[in-house]
Structure 1
Amino acid sequence: MGSNPSRFKGPRRPVERVSWEECQEFAERLNGHVALGSRLPTEAQWEYACRAGTTTSTYTGDVKTVGENNAPGLDAIAWYGGNSGWEYDLEEGEDSSEWPNKQYPHTKAGTRVVGQKRANGWGLYDMLGNVWEWCWDGMRPYTTASVVDPVGPMGISADRVIRGGGWHRDAQDVRAAYHFTYRSDHRAFDLGFRCLSSGK
């Protein structure tokens, strides 16, 4: 792409501070070089991949939150506000000295190298924590009806869903079902993406 917009740079760190619109440009350029049919996953596809056949709040089971930044059950699978600054490895970091109820003491935090935490049952790393991930579609209303591969709003003005939780605080958000939206031009230092391939 010619540049790295991330605040926390490293060859094995997730890209962040990238908008949904920029993700579309990346996928288009990637598909121009390699015919993978790459794009962002829909919200339903993202959750299916995250859960890897499980039905609990995380792919290792339900996790109890004991403080805003303290959910010991997340430690093995996710970087979040309670552990993202523990033995932090970059000089650049967000001041975390005042974050309440941290699982481990730390004074600065940020993204972490991918693949250090336990993968889910399908071998996917960092589905929870580290950076929030953009989804292809907007938020759809949940109903009690059974649906297969549902897709939320796709209009040009639709806000887009983000999933997974991030390194920047809020243990309660780091679970398979949690979601909310941002405008498609939004950027944040805890917001990145993950592509899927349609194999075309």
Structure 2
Amino acid sequence: MMSAITIDQADARLAEPFPVPHASNFVEDSFGVSVALSLGDARQVFRWVAPGRFLMGSAPGEAQRGGAEVLHEVTLSHGFWLADTSCTQAFWLALSPANPSHFQAQANNPVENVAWHDAQRFIAELNRRLPGLPARLPTEAEWEYACRAGTTTPFSFGEQVTPAQVNYHGDHPYADGLGGLHRQGTVPAGSLPANPWGLYEMHGNVWEWCADWYAEYPTEVQIDPRGPSFGKMRVLRGGTWSDPARYARSATRSRIEPAYRPRSTGFRIVLGHP
């Protein structure tokens, strides 16, 4: 097993981003490449995430780790475009007649109060409106791979985080960290620092639905895992504004029934065939 997360940069360069129907504004910057989708006045940027290998889960010595985070090697053989933020209320309202969110102060706040089924209906409508668009939810492995962005530490920012980097309950810092600001609600998408791959608020702000049914991890090497074929609860990742910092770790796993609509749950869109 690998001793650290690795990306084969030569292979990554050969894995060219595939064309995205209906996308525009191709940009290359210090984070990589991105494209944008527009729905009326609403816009969502997507970052290219190249194929690679990483260690999914947490090391036995990681502080405040969960019991379902068995470390195992995962290979993702296909790249994908991942939204650089969770779906905003503005992007949601471009397709949906009503805003389910509790925190509606700004249109670019993440949409929340969203069930897994709600997210799937939104994505189905997005694919219907933009024929040929391969939009979907990320798999749990894709989500953690993108969140880690080549890191092995508890957070993509390192061993520790502060409320200046992550929106969590500042009265409950990680491990031996110092207390800080508790915002008591969501912040606008993209308003906190990006991880090394240009993705915003992968830690904290809102929980994000993944495609997978929840199950215990395997211990053997996995290639393009998609979770079990059936189950009772769907996977959530990332932590939220109301949770202690430990739940914002890259490896933290949560799960609830797919019809449930918590005030802290949103989603992030992937473009690419699984």
Q: If the length of structure 2 is used for normalisation, what is the TM-score? A: 0.59
> The residue matched to 1:137 in structure 2 has which SS?
strand
Partner residue of 2:252 out of 171, 178, 181: 178
| Gap runs ≥5 in structure 2 | 1-95, 172-176
Deviations 1:163-192 (A, max 9, x none): 000001321111100002100001111111
Q: 1:51-66, aligned counterparts within 5 Å?
A: 51-63=148-160
Q: 1:43-82, aligned counterparts within 5 Å?
A: 43-63=140-160, 73-82=161-170
Deviation at 1:154, TM superposition (A): 3.5
Letter in 1 for 2:215: R
Matches of 1:78 and 1:185, distance apart in 2: 27
Matches of 1:154 and 1:21, distance apart in 2: 16
> The residue matched to 2:213 in structure 1 has which SS?
coil
> The residue matched to 1:26 in structure 2 has which SS?
helix
Deviation at 1:102, TM superposition (A): 8.4
**Is 2:179 the counterpart of 1:103?**
yes
Matches of 2:228 and 2:209, distance apart in 1: 14
Matches of 1:105 and 1:37, distance apart in 2: 39
> The residue matched to 1:46 in structure 2 has which SS?
helix
| Gap runs ≥5 in structure 1 | 64-72, 84-100
**Is 2:191 the counterpart of 1:116?**
yes
Aligned residues: 172
Overall identity of the aligned pairs, in %: 42
Deviation at 1:61, TM superposition (A): 1.1
Q: In the alignment, is the contact (CA less than 8 A) between 1:137 and 1:151 conserved in 2?
A: yes
Q: In the alignment, is the contact (CA less than 8 A) between 1:81 and 1:102 conserved in 2?
A: no
> The residue matched to 1:185 in structure 2 has which SS?
coil
**Which of structures 1 and 2 has the larger relative contact order (alpha carbons within 8 angstroms, sep 6+)?**
1
**Is 2:103 the counterpart of 1:8?**
yes
Larger radius of gyration: 2
Letter in 2 for 1:5: P
